[in-house]
Amino acid sequence: MLRVRTSPPLRGVCRVPGDKSISHRALLFGALADGVVEADGLGRGGDNLSTAAALRAMGVAIELGDGRARIQGVGFSGLRQAAEELDCGNSGTTIRLLLGLLAGRPFETGLRGDASLTRRPMGRVAGPLRQMGAQITGRGDPARPGDVFPPLRIKGGSLTGIRHELKVASAQLKSALILAALQARGRTELREPARSRDHTERMLGFMGAPISVDSTGAIVVEPDGWNGRLRATRLTIPGDLSSATFMIVAALIVPGSDVTVEGVGLNPTRSGALDALRVMGAELEVEVTGDAMGEPVGRVRARASQLRGARIDGELALRAIDEIPALAVAAACADGETVFADLAELRIKESDRIAALARELGRAGAAVSERPDGFSVVGLAGRPPRGGAVIPEHDHRIAMSGAILGLRAAQETTIPAADIGTSFPQFAATLADLGAPIETA
């Protein structure tokens, strides 16, 4: 259990764990390489460990050290049928990307997860993979006829390339279909309704995969004539911007604070949180200092700011979708109303994040109105929120949001510590190093 009290100014420089999304891909793509892949800065949260464990179960040798991994690539053809179902834990990225990976493998595999993961729909991934030739079965739900939920079974085999228009912009869905397309006969073209995170395209291009983006924005995979193995190389994973956003928002809402996060990924397809905070009046300095695998990397400095309400929707909301819980805390401390819209995807994350944020911000004293695809928050405009017990429903981002809101609360705030380890095991220690009164009870 974490206990958080009203904080003095936060000051200093910090780093955050390796980007969770990129770390998943480093493990998966490293397994498909033609030799040893060294990955520096790898995230060690529970989700990434689930991906590593699944790959080990399929015969991939992975050594994990302090922030790094050594992966013995085996290529697609070197993957072996696991002796048992693959446990994906709480990770939607793990299960969806494994579906794409296994779609072309000539064996049957079971995929399961925790109670939260079993509630997450997989039909939008299973449908196009079935169209390519994979056989996928799972649990049905009368409330969502035609959809499929974990636990799943997939029998892979011979795949054929497709032309497919994604109904939603989703990096997980897109990445799963790209992994399948790399194993298929013929050309695959994928189109999104809007541009989602492009970590997969960047890393696969860096490792020599036959993938490109044409003049119309379609993702094109043409594997015919390719040897089916990525180029073994060293991978450097930047700091996770989603994790960094919690440190940034903490600095913005605690008076007198001045915090710099270094070594963080600044990919423009997922930096919407920074743009949203600027719209809200945040005093931010963002500097790109380098490049890792085609990913821009740099530092973000945040000073305490008088935030104001804003509208976060459309393309901006898409680029900030995983950071919405942290942005909601900023909105709760702002002056005026903030409207979050075009975010129906938040209903099917680790929790129903719209409902969870409405509940937790309401408990803290903010006025919240919930809608099917979003919510609005009337900020406290300088008034301290209420403390109390955060109930994150095993959602790491809801747990961290409750913790940083507690830094402004008049009473002590308590948060289940175990729920944070999914993505940011060092969360409490990092805040404490910046001066926050946070402790593990």
Q: What are 100-145's pLDDT values in tens digits? A: 999 999 999 999 999 989 999 999 999 999 999 999 999 998 888 8
- The yes-or-no verdict on residue 285 having pLDDT over 90 is yes
Q: How confident is the model at residue 186 (pLDDT cuts 50, 70, 90)?
A: very high
**Residue 366 Rama label (left phi>0; alpha psi -120 to 50; beta):** beta
- The yes-or-no verdict on residue 422 having pLDDT over 90 is no
- The yes-or-no verdict on residue 238 having pLDDT over 90 is yes
Q: How confident is the model at residue 184 (pLDDT cuts 50, 70, 90)?
A: very high
Which pLDDT value is given to residue 299? 98
Q: Quick check: 81 and 157 in contact, CB under 8 A? A: no
CATH topology match: 2-18+238-440 vs 20-222: yes
Which CATH code fits 2-18+238-440?
Answer: 3.65.10.10
Alpha carbon 279 to chain centroid distance?
A: 23
Tokens 């446990």 belong to which residue? Answer: 87
Burial environment of residue 145 by CB neighbours within 10 A (0 to 12, 13 to 18, 19 or more): exposed
Q: Does the domain at residues 20-222 carry the CATH identifier 3.30.460.10?
A: no
Q: What percent of the chain has pLDDT over 90?
A: 91
For residues 81-106, average pLDDT: 97
- The yes-or-no verdict on residue 10 having pLDDT over 90 is yes
Q: Report in angstroms the alpha-carbon separations of 287 from 14, 42, 290.
A: 15, 22, 9
The rounded distance, in Å, linking the Cα atoms of 250 and 436 is 9
Q: State the sign of the Cα–Cα–Cα–Cα dihedral 239, 297, 247, 333.
A: negative
Mode of pairing for the β-strands spanning 413-415 and 388-389: parallel
Is pTM beyond 0.75? Reply is: yes
What are the sequence ranges of the domains in the chain?
A: 2-18+238-440, 20-222
Helix (H) or strand (E) holding 215: none
Which pLDDT value is given to residue 44? 84
Burial environment of residue 200 by CB neighbours within 10 A (0 to 12, 13 to 18, 19 or more): buried
Q: What percent of the chain has pLDDT over 70?
A: 100
294-317 per-position pLDDT tens digit: 899 999 999 999 999 999 999 999
Which residue numbers are catalytic? 322
Q: Quick check: 307 and 276 in contact, CB under 8 A? A: no
